[in-house]
């Protein structure tokens, strides 16, 4: 690949191709994740609540309980509970 205004085509192309390969693997993983959710759905699970569960499990246990407690306090304060 010719040099163009100081840009080495080979080097640029190798970065682009490495990125494209990683993006492709990432897209495959995303498809696998969707696959697991649709399998769970087919078995009667609620995928929206499952996603909440996955999000909550990512949180530090203490942060999570503090946040849940504060949400309860706020709900009570504005009459939602």
CB of 46 to its own copies, least distance (A): 6
* Interface positions with its own copies (CB under 8 A): 1-5, 7-9, 11-13, 15-16, 18-20, 22-23, 25-26, 29-30, 32-33, 36-37, 39-40, 43, 45-46, 48-50, 52-54, 56-57, 67, 70-71, 73-80
The 3-class SS string of 54-70 reads HHHHHCCHHHHHHHHHH
CA distance 19 to 5: 23
Nearer to its own copies, 40 or 62 (CB): 40
The helix (run of H) or strand (run of E) holding residue 4 is strand 3-4
Asked if 75 and 81 count as a contact pair (C-beta separation under 8 A), the reply is: yes
Closest contact distance (angstroms) between CB of 60 and its own copies is: 13
């Amino acid at each position: 690949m010719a040099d163009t205004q100081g840009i080495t085509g080979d080097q640029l192309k190798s970065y682009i191709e490495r990125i494209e390969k990683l993006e492709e693997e990432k897209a495959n993983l995303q498809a696998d994740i969707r696959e697991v959710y649709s399998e769970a759905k087919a078995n009667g699970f609620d995928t929206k609540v499952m996603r909440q569960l996955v999000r909550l499990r990512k949180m530090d246990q203490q942060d999570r309980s503090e946040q849940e407690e504060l949400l309860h306090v706020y709900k009570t304060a504005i009459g939602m509970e």
